[in-house]
Amino acid sequence: MKHILIVDDEEKIRFVVREYAEFEGYKVSEAQDGMEAVELCREVNFDLIIMDIMMPRLDGYMAVREIRKNSNVPVIMLSARGEEYDKLFGFELGIDDYVVKPFSCKELMARVGAIMGRVAPEQVRESLQFGGLTVDTLGRRVLVDGKEMQLTPKEYELLFYMVTNRGIALSRERMLRDIWGYSYTGDDRTLDTHIKMLRSNLGPYRGYIVTLRGMGYKFEPGERVG
């Protein structure tokens, strides 16, 4: 049974989200602030964390920063603020999704399910080489000129998706549907933000990800380096 940690200082929100999560078949634990969440993560290997930002003692951002020192567990961030800066900061810390309050618990559970099921069983288990860029699908590792990059789970999933569809023009709508796994109703700049972060991690091979103006992206290995 997949184990979820819900972190929010509002008991009512924890209660509602817990009810929906348990109905979907997840085991649920709760924390009322970031400090408690960090302590729990040192004791338990959770499969996913739903984390509020504005909390006493230790806010969600700082809690994720601490958790990321020892764990790559997927994180969905909850916030009453929907400004681009807040989302960018969260993604830079390594979160996987960002949900603005008030939110639909049904949509939240759809996002949880999409993240839980993102590792497709038909993944090709091999190491793919594109010049100095290595994508190890078995070990879920990405190396740039022999140096391992620390990608978030969503960044790795995005890169693997593009690599397996290399040379194909991919629309934003298709990428959101196939990678996020649900009918995305949020800001599609979420995808652009992940692409920006992924390119940064690819260093000299960032140009392999080509922007198709007005449409989406395409992975073209060896065409543009630097």
pLDDT at 157 over 50: yes
pLDDT digits (tens, 9 = 90+) for 194-222: 999 999 999 999 999 999 988 899 999 86
Instruction: Answer yes or no: are the C-beta atoms of 75 and 96 closer than 8 Å.
Output: yes
Q: Please, is 128 exposed, middle or buried when counting C-beta atoms within 10 Å of its C-beta (0-12, 13-18, 19+)? A: middle
State how far the Cα of 87 lies from the Cα of 12, in Å rounded to an integer.
Answer: 24
In the prediction, which pLDDT does 182 show? 52
pTM above 0.75, yes or no: no
* Region 3-116: CATH code: 3.40.50.2300
Question: 127-219: which CATH number, 1.10.357.10, 1.10.10.10, 2.60.40.3880, 3.40.50.1000?
Answer: 1.10.10.10
pLDDT digits (tens, 9 = 90+) for 91-130: 888 888 889 888 889 889 988 988 887 544 444 446 788 9
Using CA atoms, how far residue 105 sits from 97, 135, 151, in Å, is: 14, 35, 28
Instruction: Starting at the earlier edge strand, list the strands of the sheet with 209-212.
Output: 170-171, 216-219, 209-212
In the prediction, which pLDDT does 82 show? 65
Phi, psi of 130 (to 5 degrees): -130, 90
Strands 133-136 and 27-31: unpaired
- Calculate mean pLDDT across residues 41-57: 93
What are the residue ranges spanned by the domains of the chain?
3-116, 127-219
Instruction: Answer yes or no: are the C-beta atoms of 162 and 219 closer than 8 Å.
Output: yes
